[in-house]
Amino acid sequence: MSARLFTPVRAQLVARAVLWSMMSLALGILALVLWFVLRRGLAHIDWAFVSTAPLDSGRGGGIFPILVGTLEVTLLGVATAAPLGIGTAIYLAEYTKEGRLTRAIRFGSECLAGVPSIIIGLFGFVLFVTTLRLGWSILAGALTLALMTLPLVIRTSEEALKSVPTAYREVALSLGASKWQTMLGVVLPAALPGIFTGLILGLGRAIGETAALIFTAGSSLPHQLPRSLLDGTRTLSIHFYQLAREGISADHAYATAAVLVLAISFINLSSSFAMHRFMRRYG
């Protein structure tokens, strides 16, 4: 080629090497994180761990009530955010044109997504725990989680609705259906898989939440299953935090973390996979 040191071909090789090594670094970090958690944690997960109640502040026993409590808080939270978020998404996608109102709503939603979780937790503490006198409870935690997952639900539902081909709507309308009948009978069912996977994604996000839930669902260790929505509970991530920080039981801490990481990974991966399948079907 020429006498220059950095010929385009050489630059290409150097660039490839650098970029791939950076990718490997990122993968190495992920591997380190997973190895750290799973190496000790997996060994201590067994059926007894998952199905019995904690003993001795968490040193013994298992995490069953904690699992149930976590599920209740997160499922209720996502279920509360769903009607609000899906309704907003339907409104944005179907009933309005791109204009100042839609951009305002979307901007507001993005801002809410960016508010630090601790501030939402404090808001939840003052509103749900104190003012509404719900106390440290599953309900307070769920409502707070709903606030946090709302932007995600809006965004994913809107995407799902937009992916439904206009032809569907046009055919229904041309057959004489009203807009609402089209929505309910044609568009929503078509968009439902996408909306649903968005909700599952929100669930995955909610399970890992810690700061906001300490203030609202509380951090007390449950010895039995929660009997009402007003019982407090400790979620998996808070339990891990307590076990690890207080040095109560390293083994159980790692086991809890392993359960957390595995559950979240499973949820995230399956919902992303389903989401892409759905988009490819319509997009």
Partner 1 sequence: MRVRFPQLAIVLAGLASAGCAERALHTLTLSGSTSLQPLAEKWAEAYQSHHPGLAIAVQGGGSTAGVQAALSGAAQIGLSSRALTSVELRDVRAIQVARDGIAVVVHPSNPLDDLSLDAVKCIYSGSIKDWRQLQGPPKAITLITREEGSGTRAAFESLVMSKLSISSSALVQDSTGAVRQMVSSDPAAIGYISIGLVDASVKALRLSGVAATEANIDRGAYPLVRPFLFALHGEPNAQTRGFISWVSGPEGRELVRREGMLPATQEGSDARR
Partner 2 sequence: MRVADKTVERTLGLIALSSILVLVSITFFIFKEGAPFVYRIGLGNFFSTEWHPTAQRYGISYMIVGTAAVTAGALVFGVPLGIACAVVLGEMAGQTTRTLLKPAIEILAGIPSVVFGFIGISLVLPWIREHLGGPGASGLAGALILGVMILPTIIAISLDALRAVPRSYREASLAIGATEWQTIWRVVLPAARSGIVAAVILGIGRAVGETMAVVMVTGNAVQLPHSPLDPVRTLTANLALEMAYASGDHRAGLFATGIVLFVVIVGLNTIAALVRTRLARPARRRHRWRLTVAEQEPERIEPAVTP
39-58 positions binding partner 1, by CB under 8 A: 55-57
DSSP state of 227: -
CA–CA separation, 251 and 190 (whole Å): 46
Residue owning tokens 């997504």: 113
CA–CA separation, 236 and 220 (whole Å): 12
In the region spanning residues 38 to 97, those forming contacts with partner 2, defined by CB under 8 A, are 83-85, 87-88, 90-92, 95
Classify burial at 99, counting beta carbons within 10 Å of its beta carbon; exposed 0-12, middle 13-18, buried 19 or more: exposed
In the region spanning residues 79 to 98, those forming contacts with partner 1, defined by CB under 8 A, are 80, 83-84, 87
Which one, 81 or 267, has the nearer CB to partner 1? Answer: 81
CA–CA separation, 270 and 195 (whole Å): 14
Report the residue from 134, 201, 255, 263 that binds partner 1 according to the rule CB under 8 A.
134
Which one, 39 or 133, has the nearer CB to partner 1? Answer: 133
Extended beta strands in the chain, E state = 54-55, 60-61
In the region spanning residues 182 to 221, those forming contacts with partner 1, defined by CB under 8 A, are 218-221
Yes or no: say if 252 and 44 are a contact pair by the CB < 8 Å rule. Answer: yes
Report the residue from 159, 200, 218, 232 that binds partner 2 according to the rule CB under 8 A.
159
Options 46-54, 59-67, 105-113, 226-234: segment touching partner 2 (CB under 8 A)? 105-113
Residues that bind partner 1 (CB under 8 A): 55-57, 80, 83-84, 87, 129-130, 132-137, 139, 143, 218-224, 227-232, 245-248
